[in-house]
Amino acid sequence: MIEIRNDWKIEEVKELLGQPFNDLLFQAQMIHRKVFNPNEVQVSTLLSIKTGACPEDCSYCSQSARNDTSTEPERLLPLDDVLKSAKEAKETGATRFCMGAAWRNPTDKSLDRVIEMIEAVRDMGMETCVTLGMLTEKQTQRLKEAGLDYYNHNLDTSPEFYGEVITTRSYQDRLDTLKYVRNAGINVCSGGILGMGETNHDRARLLQQLANLPKHPESVPINDLVQVEGTPLEGTEKLDPFDFIRMVAAARIMMPLSYVRLSAGRTEMNDEMQALCFFAGANSMFYGERLLTTDNPDENHDQKLFSRLGIDMEKAKPQQGFTVKESDKTESCGCSA
Ligand code: SAM
Ligand code: DTB
Ligand code: SF4
């Protein structure tokens, strides 16, 4: 029986995270293999469709106009360039194409152009994801009509630590955008960044916020901070890799039907650490040598790692036939979770 809960108390999350490492990983792997094939990982490729000169002050980001970084601003890419990248991503094995824009929010005019991109990438037979900043309710409806599969919008950290990282938009703004995306019927991709100087309590609060949303995000990216030269967070003390893996495991346990995405920061992780993340329940990741503005391991390296681990990167669909208990109702999963 897989229990879906949206009523996690902070003490419970801290207790979960604080267990002996082996107990936590064992529990996560047990849940993981009931819901998913443990030897499959879904892969998405990212493209920055509009880079830099962002008015927001996110202190981790290479693209904020307030941070003195070497990222060169670029205008919104032409459709043909986007399609060329999507075609390459498909050829190397990615099943989803994620397009990111350095905006506080899209204007309706720029959304027209992004919608053309979404429709054309879908026509190529790939799933689509975009991350464009805050949205209005009407904009989410337009994205749904365009056939968008996923919208990425991260909570980033705990509500308490958030103000130390970003001041130009509130936690509530993010929750509102997530609500509009959910109500429009688009799959939600939302997670956070670890290693920004937050405490264990903050990490537990981030998981609590995500798992206590009215419905769990279908995709939960766990990013390890990429320390970018010229950002205020450059030089932050690195997170203990075991604490990162613990967060992956706790996300898997708390959001059993979600894809837990091993996201930014993989260039700093060795293969053994990534293998432990997959064991802890990570079953999706970003694939291709660039994230948005920073490096990611190249495809050859990832393909070799998957082959060494016996991981298949094409499927990663939920298994059939497990039972889901959702607060007051129990149902059998057939499964389109
Ligand atoms: N501008 C939009 C927004 O912020 O919603 C979309 C693009 S933004 C770059 C998407 C996400 O990437 C951020 O919410 C953050 O979680 C993640 N991110 C950005 N810079 C990062 C970094 N240096 N290390 C790890 N994650 C990062
Ligand atoms: C997410 O959670 N991580 C991705 C994606 N969603 C958009 C972005 C990571 C960005 C890392 C820094 C960069 O390359 O600029
Ligand atoms: Fe802008 Fe997004 Fe970077 Fe924040 S994370 S500065 S909103 S691009």
Cβ-contact 184, 140 below 8 angstroms: yes
Q: Which of 113, 261, 266, 277 is catalytic?
A: 261
Task: For residue 86, name the pLDDT band (cuts at 50, 70, 90).
Answer: very high
Atom of ligand 3 nearest to the CA of 133: 7
Which of 100, 102, 106 shows the shortest CA–CA distance to 57?
102
189 belongs to the catalytic site: yes
Q: How close is the Cα of 113 to the center of ligand 3, in Å?
A: 20
Atom of ligand 1 nearest to the CA of 228: 23
Atom of ligand 2 nearest to the CA of 292: 14
Mean pLDDT estimate for the chain: 92
333 belongs to the catalytic site: no
58 belongs to the catalytic site: yes
Q: How close is the Cα of 72 to the center of ligand 2, in Å?
A: 17
261 belongs to the catalytic site: yes
335 belongs to the catalytic site: no
Dump pLDDT digits (tens) for 156-197.
999 999 999 999 999 999 999 999 999 999 999 999 999 999
Choosing from 56, 76, 134 the residue with most ligand 3 atoms within 8 A of its CB, the one to mutate for a pocket test is 56
pLDDT of residue 151: 98
pLDDT of residue 337: 42
Q: Per-residue pLDDT averaged across 201-216, rounded?
A: 97
Say if ligand 2 is within 6 A of residue 260 CB: no
pLDDT at residue 258 above 90?
yes
pLDDT of residue 327: 67
Pocket of ligand 3 (CB under 6 A): 54, 56, 58, 61, 63-64, 102, 133
